[in-house]
Every structure is written in C-alpha cells, then in structure tokens.
Amino acid sequence: MNSSIMANTLNVEQIRKEFPILKTEANSYPLVYLDNAATSQKPKVVINAVSNYYKEYNSNVHRAAHFLSDKATVAYENARVTIKEFINAEDAREINFVRGTTEGINLVAYSFGAAFVKPGDEIIISNIEHHSNIVPWQMLCERCDAVLKVIPVSENGEMDLSAFEQLLSDKTKLVAVQHISNALGIIHPIERIIELAHRKNAYVFIDGAQASPHIPIDVRELDCDFYAFSSHKMFGPTGIGILYGKASILEKLPPYQGGGEMIKEVTLEKTTYNDLPYKFEAGTPNIAGAVGLEAAIKFITELGHKEIMKYEHDLLLYATKELMEIEGLKIIGNATSKVPVISFIVKDIHAYDIGVLLDKQGIAVRTGHHCCQPLMNRFQIEGTCRASFAFYNTMHEVDMLKSSLQQAINILRG
C-alpha cells in the first residue's frame, strides 16, 4: 500500500484508488457501492496476494517435502499468526480456518453440542440474530433435546439485558449473539453479556462477521469462548473465515469433519486425531483465501482502527442526518452505538421497489429481511432498505444516495 494513504485522518480519495471495482459504471452511472454489510470490495493488495499465490507457489500445504509446498505452508501458517495477532488470541492453535462465519457457527454447534449439551440444557440467542446464528442452534436443540431461549429486542433495536439476566439459569450451557447487527448496524454490549453468562458458568459464542471490518477485536479482553468472522466482509476473499476458540475448550471438542489433515494416524480399526488447530481443518484448505485474508488484515491495520472508526462515525452521522430529512423515511434501529449501517423504510413504498430504482441510478443497496426474519417480525415489517458503508465511501456518495432516493420516492408516489 502507498504510504501516502496513511495519515492522522483517512485520505479517502487515495484509498479509493486501491479498489479497482470502484471505477465501475453501473447502468451508465458511477457505481455507488453501499452494500458492504453483504460483502466488501477488495483492494489491489488482496487481489495481488491471491493472484501471486496461484502464479508463484500454488501447492498443497503440510503434506509434501518440496519447494512449492514449503513456501505455501509458510505463507498459510504466517496468515494464521497474523490473524492471531489481529484479534489478540493467546495462541495460534486457537485460530481455525473455516469457510466463513456460518461454518464457524455450525462447527461449534455440532462439536460443542456433542461434547457438552445434554437434554434439558438451555441455549440463549437473541431476536436480532442473523439466520446463521439461529438455525444451527435450533438444530442443536433438536438433536440434544435442549431448550432454545431468546433475548428480546427493544424498539430501538437493542438487546434487553434485564430480560437476558432473567433468562440465564443454572441450565444455561451457551449464549450465542452477534457482536454487531448485520441488519441494523447496532453494536451490542457483548462485554456485559459475556460477564453475565460466565457468572452462570455458561460458554459464549460471538458472531463477529460485522465487527471485523469496523472495530478492533480483542478476544482475550472480551474473554469470549468462541469468536467467528468472515474474510469477505473485511475486504478479503470469499470462502475463508476464522473460528477462534479457547484452546482449553477446543481440545475437549470432537472433530467437525473427517478426512485428511485432521488425523495423526489412521488404521482400519481406529483413527487418532490431530492436534489443534488441524483437528478442525479436514481436507485441502483455502490457501489462497488465507493469504488474501492476511493481506486484508494488514491493509486494515495500516489504515488504523482509530482512523477508520472516526471517519465511519462521521459518515454515519452525516448520512443519518441527510436521510432523516426525507419525508416519510423511518430508520429502523436508532441505537446510539452503531457502525455505518442505516436500515430504513419509506411509508407506503416497498423496499424492493426503492432498491430497483436506486440501482438504475448506479446505487447498490440491499433490500429485504437481511436474513433476519424474526427481527423484521418483531418490528412488524417485511423488510428494509439497507445502506451499509465502508471507509472508501464518501460524503458525496451520501448526497447521491439522498438525491436518488428522493427521485425514486417521487416516481413511486406518482
């Protein structure tokens, strides 16, 4: 990355030059990409890292004694160490490569469930969770005859901590909640949630898919038992993500999948499983993805979380102020602690229709329930329009969104 990008405040125009796709035209308009909560765009350093892997040292890792394999193995394991440092894990053995947050959740639901969950035990989630942090726990409860309990959400989209305390009991085995809401952008008080859960000797899983691109993560300070996030949400490749787990817990869990790499020795009578983290990494891994994720982490680190958070906060405040000036627009989720995500509805107009007309003007937003149907049911709406920003978005793009949105509303209202 060019050192001129880095400063006390972000040089956003310079940063934008690092993202080739931002030069795209969409429907003859300059692309305004505001769907970052679904997936983020990739800087040249990530694209080059993935390309260079395939061009220069493409090989399988760990299982060969030749030059290319050794180079690939070093790169793959270096990525693991970089990720360990990024989230301040104690040991690289606690960093497990998975396909993404969803697989990380399913791994814990399967393996933790097999090792710890008994009939009558209780799992707690919240009403604001992504489907990926609902369905695996429902499946676990069905398998183990456990009970699923749900933290209610207030009118402004915040978890009700008083209700959470009431839900906790000596039967609570695990609490699984988001760090940040994908639908509303709200930052949840997970420090308090973890503290309260641990008082009941319950384990805590944190879905960090929306946190990793926006705020610093320190798993030791949080003291969570599990934490998962996805590369593609934080400017890295798709198909790769991380499950962090405390080594003392992971060592007690059975493997999630069987195959090569996750074994020490196999006979037809018995298999001995590998040590951490390889016990949970069956088969050939996404080596290029790991290399690309490392490049994305270094890109974020060089920009600096402090600078990213300040700029994105200013962007959120400005976008909120401007959109609230539109007659009939209502923002869903008006909590004070948010990342730059604005989920909104417009009176008497379907969100999908707005999304289609915005797209015709080159503006990409997400419409629908955002894989949060229980949350939408709580607000008695079908879905929202969601504009989700990243540090490469600009105030001018907010102005374009506001102008195009007003035009779309005028058209739809006739």
Looking at the domain 48-301, which fold is it? Answer: Aspartate Aminotransferase; domain 2 (3.40.640)
Q: Is 224 annotated in the active site?
A: no
Q: Which residue out of 144, 371, 372, 385 is catalytically annotated? A: 371
- List the domain boundaries for the chain: 3-42+304-413, 48-301
Q: What are phi and psi of 240, to 5 degrees?
A: -145, 145
Give the Cα-Cα-Cα angle 65, 66, 72 (nearest 5 degrees): 95
Give the tokens for residue 48: 């080059």
Longest dimension (CA), the chain: 73
CA pair distance 148, 121, nearest whole angstrom: 9
| pLDDT tens, position by position, 35-87 | 999 999 999 999 999 999 999 999 999 977 899 999 999 999 999 999 999 99
Looking at the domain 3-42+304-413, which fold is it? Answer: Aspartate Aminotransferase, domain 1 (3.90.1150)
CA pair distance 333, 328, nearest whole angstrom: 16
151, 163 Cβ separation under 8 angstroms: yes
Provide the percentage of residues in the chain whose pLDDT is more than 90. Answer: 93
- Please list, in sequence order, all residues whose beta carbon lies within 8 angstroms of the beta carbon of residue 352, skipping any fewer than 6 positions away: 367, 368, 383
The reported pTM is: 0.95
| pLDDT tens, position by position, 228-249 | 999 999 999 999 999 999 999 9
Same fold, 3-42+304-413 and 48-301: no
| pLDDT tens, position by position, 351-405 | 999 999 999 999 999 999 999 999 999 999 999 999 999 999 999 999 999 999 9
